[in-house]
Amino acid sequence: MNAPNSSKLARVQYPRQVEHLIQGVEASDGAGVRLTRLLSQTLQRRLDPFLMMDAFGSDNPDDYIAGFPDHPHRGFETITYMIAGRMLHRDSAGNEGLLETGGVQWMVAGRGVIHSEIPQQEHGLMKGFQLWLNLPAIDKMCAPWYRDFSADELPVFTSEEGVQVTVIAGRSHGVQGAVERPVTEPLYLDLHVPAGACFQQDIPETHNAFIHVYEGALNVGSTRVAPGGLAILANSPHTDGVVLKAEQDSRVLLIAGRPLNEPIIQYGPFVMNSENEIQQAFHDYRAGLFGGAIEEEHEPRR
3-state secondary structure at position 109: coil
Domain parsing of the chain, residue ranges: 18-257
Tens of pLDDT along the chain (302 residues)? 766 554 445 689 999 999 999 999 998 888 788 899 999 999 999 999 999 999 998 888 888 888 888 899 999 999 999 999 999 988 887 778 899 999 999 999 999 999 999 889 878 998 999 999 999 999 999 989 989 999 999 999 999 999 999 999 999 999 999 999 999 999 999 999 999 999 999 999 999 999 999 999 999 999 999 999 999 999 999 999 999 999 999 999 999 999 999 999 999 999 999 999 999 999 999 998 886 544 443 444 34
Give residue 67's pLDDT. Answer: 83
Q: How far is CA 185 from CA 20, 69, 77, 106, 160, in A?
A: 23, 31, 13, 15, 26
What's the gap between Cα 223 and its chain centre?
23
Closest Cα to residue 52, out of 31, 71, 35, 68?
35
Q: What is the pLDDT of residue 63?
A: 87
Spatial distance between the Cα atoms of 242 and 235, rounded to a whole number of angstroms: 11
Distance CA 37, CA 29 (A): 10
Q: Kindly report the pTM of this predicted structure.
A: 0.93
Q: Give the model's pLDDT for residue 2.
A: 67
The H or E element that residue 285 is part of is: helix 275-286
Q: Are 111 and 293 in contact (CB under 8 A)?
A: no
Query: 164-169 and 96-100 as β-strands: parallel, antiparallel, unpaired?
Result: unpaired
* Residue 23 β-bridge partners: 229
Architecture of domain 18-257: Sandwich (2.60)
Which helix (H) or strand (E) segment is 277 a member of? helix 275-286
